[in-house]
Amino acid sequence: MAATKIEIRRGTYYDSITLMQLQAELMQLPGISNAGVMLATDANKELLKEQGLLSAEAQECSGSDLIISIQGDNKAATETALGKVDTLLSRRRSHDEQDYLPKSLEAAVKMLPEAQWVLVSVPGNYAASVAKEGLRHGKNIFLYSDNVSLEDEVALKKDASKKGLLVMGPDCGTAIINEVGLGFANKVRRGPIGLIGASGTGLQQVTARIHQLGSGITHAIGTGGRDLSTSVGGITALQALDLLRRDSETQVMVLISKPADSKVVSRLLQRAREAGKHVVINLLGHPAMQLEKNTNLHFASSLDAAAELAVKLVNTPTTSARETAAREMSPSGQKYLRGLFSGGTLAYETLLILQDYLPNLYSNIPLKKEQALANPLVSHKHTILDLGEDEFTVGRPHPMLDNTLRLQRLAKEASDPEVAIILLDVVLGYGAHPDPASELAPALSNAISSAQKNGRNLEVIVTVVGTDEDPQDLKAQIKKFKTAGARVETSSREAALYVGQRLQSQEKATELTAVDLKVLQQPLQAINVGLASFSESLRQQGATVIHVDWRPPAGGNEKLISILERMKKS
């Protein structure tokens, strides 16, 4: 007759992989039809209940208790199987190559003080505390654990960034550091491509494809899925960009992410443009990623495309004359752009491009509600105006016909001491103003000379849209604007890119203490707290590792844990 036996072990902890393997071994025993070996979390108890493996007593267990539930053909089979649990567990422990298993991270650090990394894969409610202790010991953290609060993640990464340390994660499943895979990683050859990923399986796909295409990896740095959120601010991704920028073996960088906050993306792209290396970017859901051309940034529409592009770019020099010129000519002490457009579509395209360069961007035709100007008559920080919108054309001709409003606004913006660049379009052709440069060029010249008299360097960029057969005479119009001191472009995209690359250096960089390159260059040595399988994996790859025989502090009693934490801080 079928029988079920349930044993509860109070305050007993084993990692999830060990319990999974024990459960599988129990189910292979003669006469056993089902088994469940799990810590008594609410989710696990629900799973056991659905399988008919949960008793009333087990239902009352806490998350620090272990439930062993075995279902068999008869009572004798279940009792025999239950009696073999400790033997099976001890047999698994005997496979560990480490003579002595320290009981604490502190003891492990004394055993291997040279370790650069602490791998954390304990349950989420304990993970932040273990990671915090690792940072106190000056170690970089690979935080595999999930269910870590956003508040804890932000606190850990801010603390790490001040100390020049990395926190990869939480919920970071994949990384490759100096040829050693952490967590889940494929065996790939060494090569010239470095990766940054807020997506573990994305990193695996791209690294595997790079290997298949004949190239290889220097390092692959995981960030955790929330790193590019507004709250976290891309701390780990920015640190990783800086590390790979300084790593002489990395020729090409690849940045992979699930949907990310637009302002964080803007900061990342700004840093990527300054890397001096090719950066391939695959940001899922990023709307403006195809608009940027002729820089060191290369956007890929898929993971496979990112891998193929990265391999293609190896040994290809980066060239961006426009970017170099922009840095050399960067205004001093002036911060903002004012764009005065007569063409609504040109203004919109400029917004799309500049949102990746200038986070403080506002308009009367905003891409997002937070970019909307409170008052279109008053500019705010970086401002792009479509002067052809209804609020400006009531009772007056369109600005392609009449320059009066634009001349007035030009004078106002040029007198603002915080304005560095004025950008405007001039659209030629039938129906447009017969000679716009005759009115605009003198005004631009006056604005530039007035700024110089006041010790400022005001630059004006004019995009002229037209052909050599237009009635206004394209060459003559361009000559007038150049004579007035303006930079002239015939491509609105090129004009926007020039402005973006010129002004991005004025944006305040995120203050992060540089991570020592030795973390990438030295043979990997680590302390593993959590899944024993991670220690086995590191040893298979030739890394030095100390595995900690970790147990929840104070038997999982939350009140006692809180007291212990306060004692550590005192």
pLDDT tens per residue, range 19-40: 888 888 888 889 888 988 888 8
| First-last CA distance in the chain | 59
Q: Which long-range contacts (CB under 8 A, 24 or more apart) does 36-41 make?
A: 36/67, 36/68, 36/69, 37/66, 37/67, 37/68, 37/69, 37/85, 38/66, 38/67, 39/13, 39/63, 39/64, 39/65, 39/66, 39/67, 39/123, 40/8, 40/64, 40/65, 40/66, 40/67, 41/123
CATH fold group of domain 172-319:
Rossmann fold (3.40.50)
Confidence of residue 154 (pLDDT cuts 50, 70, 90): very high
Confidence of residue 326 (pLDDT cuts 50, 70, 90): very low
263-283 average pLDDT score: 88
Mean pLDDT, the chain, integer: 88
Contact 506, 465 (CB under 8 A): no
Confidence of residue 333 (pLDDT cuts 50, 70, 90): low
345-362 average pLDDT score: 89
Superfamily of domain 323-506: Succinyl-CoA synthetase domains (3.40.50.261)
**Which of the 8 DSSP states describes residue 75?**
H
CA neighbor of 108 nearest in space, from 134, 144, 136, 141: 134
pLDDT at 371 over 50: yes
Alpha-carbon torsion (277, 283, 289, 290), positive or negative: positive
118-122 average pLDDT score: 95
Please tell me the predicted confidence (pLDDT) of residue 565. Answer: 58
CATH number for the segment(s) 3-94: 3.30.1360
pLDDT at 288 over 70: no
Please tell me the predicted confidence (pLDDT) of residue 269. Answer: 86
Contact 286, 263 (CB under 8 A): no
pLDDT at 324 over 50: no
Mutual angle of helices 235-246 and 262-273, in 10-degree steps? 10
86-93 average pLDDT score: 74
CA neighbor of 447 nearest in space, from 435, 461, 433: 461
Least confident of 65-79, 198-212, 498-512, 516-530: 498-512
The percent of residues above 90 in pLDDT, for the chain, comes to 58
Please tell me the predicted confidence (pLDDT) of residue 509. Answer: 53
490-511 average pLDDT score: 78
Domain with CATH 3.30.1360 in the chain: 3-94
Domain with CATH 3.40.50.261 in the chain: 172-319, 323-506
Which SS3 state, helix, strand or coil, does residue 236 take? Answer: helix
297-320 average pLDDT score: 89
